[in-house]
Amino acid sequence: MPHTIHAEPLTNLCRDIFAAAGTPTDIAAIVAESLVTTNLFGHDSHGVLRVKQYITMIRAGMTQPGQRPRVIKRFGATAMVDGGYGFGQVGARFAAELARQLGAEYGIAAVSLGQTTHIGRLGEYTAHIAAAGLIGIGFTSGTMYSGWVAPYGGRERVFGTNPMSFAAPGSGGETLLLDFATAGVAHGKIVLAHAKAEPVPSGMMLDRHGNPSTDAQLLDEGAVLLPMGLHKGSGLAMMMELIPTLLAGHRPISAPDFSFGNPTLLLALSPEAFDDHTDFAAQVAALQARVKAVQPAAGFDEVLLPGEPEARAYARRIKTGIPLPDAVWADLRELADELGVAIQSRQ
Following DSSP, what letter does each residue of 84-150 receive, concatenated? TT--HHHHHHHHHHHHHHHHHHHSEEEEEEES------THHHHHHHHTTTSEEEEEE--STT-SSBP
Other Cβ atoms within 10 Å of 250 Cβ, number: 16
pLDDT in tens, 322-333: 999 999 999 999
Chain mean position to CA 79? 21
Asked if pLDDT for residue 84 goes beyond 80, the answer is: yes
Under DSSP, the state recorded for 152 is T
Residues 6+ apart with CB under 8 A from 4: 320, 321, 322, 323, 324, 346
- C-beta separation of 328 from 49 below 8 A: yes
- How far apart are the C-alpha atoms of 268 and 105, rounded to whole Å? 11
pLDDT in tens, 6-47: 999 999 999 999 999 999 999 999 999 999 999 999 999 899
Radius of gyration for the alpha carbons in the chain, expressed in angstroms and rounded: 20
pLDDT in tens, 101-122: 999 999 999 999 999 999 999 9
Other Cβ atoms within 10 Å of 32 Cβ, number: 24
Strand partners, 164: 139, 180
- C-beta separation of 172 from 304 below 8 A: no
| pTM, 2 dp | 0.93
Q: With 0-12 CB in 10 A as exposed, 13-18 as middle and 19+ as buried, what is 68? A: middle
Residues 6+ apart with CB under 8 A from 156: 150, 224
* pLDDT value for 171: 87
Under DSSP, the state recorded for 248 is T
Pairing mode, if any, of strands 175-180 and 78-82? unpaired
- C-beta separation of 148 from 161 below 8 A: yes
- C-beta separation of 13 from 341 below 8 A: yes
Q: How far is CA 233 from CA 30, 49, 122, 213, 246, in A?
A: 32, 26, 18, 19, 20
Instruction: Indicate the residue type of 240.
Output: M
- C-beta separation of 137 from 266 below 8 A: yes
pLDDT in tens, 179-197: 999 999 887 788 878 878 8
Q: How far apart are the first and last CA of the chain?
A: 17
Asked if pLDDT for residue 56 goes beyond 60, the answer is: yes
Least confident of 32-46, 86-100, 199-213, 304-318: 199-213
Other Cβ atoms within 10 Å of 156 Cβ, number: 12
Largest CA distance in the chain: 59
Mean pLDDT of 91-98: 98
Residues 6+ apart with CB under 8 A from 122: 138, 140, 163, 164, 165, 179, 264
- How far apart are the C-alpha atoms of 265 and 190, rounded to whole Å? 25
- How far apart are the C-alpha atoms of 310 and 314, rounded to whole Å? 6
* pLDDT value for 299: 96
Asked if pLDDT for residue 256 goes beyond 60, the answer is: no
